[in-house]
Structure 1
């Protein structure tokens, strides 16, 4: 991962062994991108290059070395992090207040569990709609990139609030960091799209990236990011609904009454019941409870991946976006893009003096459009996060990072976002 960090901790599973490394890597952001570009074009003709982007479906990228270098320079400039303005800080405080106003979601006058669940999800969606309107009021309707980043910040705040309001329900503990990694992809893809503007004016139809001319690529990025944020909002509404329901009903009853939403959801609440019972016996800080709550979180994650996110990934638009993601990864030797790794921190594009924690995706899980690959990534992430939270060196930092994300402090705010 390209960075300015002084410490990096990797954790991955290879041949069923845990691997940790801590290393000194004071690598400037631009140097990493440019070095990758130089390596990528060193053996190619100086007039033009045509490379195969390796993906599920290979797509051609045709761009000159000079143009590729220009894109790298511009991406670097666009990814510089900025501070929020006074009006933006006011907006983010409003988002924080809404995210932490969850007590009114449950309606005691509704007696049907299914209707209560739908009621809570509907109210969360209404909150998201309010947030979108507040963001548009602050930035204007034409600043869609900044609007989207603000709505993502709200989702991050929401997961932090869910985690604090219901500490026995573990899904948001990892969800907040995964959603923040998606935010980094918004920042990177917007930076790529905006970096292509000068080339688009000159000869956008002649340049092909990931099988697309520049106008098509830029349109795909915008549309795909809108799909991603809607997918994030849908997961937030669903997980938020499940967490609130868990605070008011016995998990066994929820497993029975919500069985119509899928077998994985019923199984998740059965596992949650085991965790709840263990919490009564040994408390929520016992290692046995943490293991059981992690197992339940994995099952809730399987439900979200199958019912909420897979329909999104099945769309042709998202397959095109996956090809763009592969181009960003190839541009930077696997450092830029959504790979499946989970950064347990706030902002990997800033100078970091604290432990740089990153959960590496399993080597066999490389296709984010594949349901089983995403489930493998999530299972690995939940288990490793649980281990780290019981590690005397890493455990103190994780709640600090989560709290910063939950307050919207230091998030990815690329200067090139529009």
Structure 2
């Protein structure tokens, strides 16, 4: 009887564990439940933002090691629906994908095959109706910034909004990043009498209490935040540096959140103590517009900026003058992915390089304006 009772208890515990985890926690087995297509274990997904108002955001599937064909819109293939209007960002957490769709104003959770698990719409939420922007994950929660000055704490499993922090009505919040249980939030701009007023704040939110702890003074129009090696990297869209490019700064949580200028960059990604940078400068005063891209790296350990390109000489020549929209690194093998854009004129391209900068291949990204990537290895 004791053996039978123990067996029943174990079966109950197993059932409970399955019910609370819709995405796989097994490093060797991804959750492909509901998939309409067989996918290899090593896979990559790219979020294409689309063009605002065109309802043409999509997610593309790519097999880095081969074994499957490229799928231009795996979200529609798996879910028989369009992703929506303006895909803002996409992250991986606990072997699931989370996608923020700004124009349609919702957050969706997908399994490792791109099959929708659940979603949360913010259209009818008065506090969050201005639109979701950036997301970060920590300890079972998704933290999202919204236009209108609100940060939301969202259950990563159910996507239920559990808490809201209204920082300042009318502020338009952008990038978020987490370090040492603190959430850093970029405060980009506000509108006053129909005019844009650019701000220069990064808010620090204590996740233990979900309250505002402090406000940091940074470069004007802070936009993108990234955590690496317990440091916070910031790109501010400061338009006063037209010839130099957007401002790149580092925030050091271990040193009272000291803010230091590094240089200029439009996109950044990090892996193995190195921050990869693209400074993309476009002259819009000529027709057609002319873009010049500069590729460089920043070593976090030595605190040095290397202006030499991280790409080798075999890189396609057109990459030096094509407008870029994405820079991502696969942290499993260090492969570098650069996305280019033709805006609303057509699909962008993805350029893939080895960690040492050797060119691997170029392919159509399946949509317009690629901006995010998720890798399952």
TM, length-normalised to structure 2: 0.28
By percentage of residues, which structure has more helix? 1
Of structures 1 and 2, the one scoring higher in RCO (CA 8 A, sep 6+) is 1
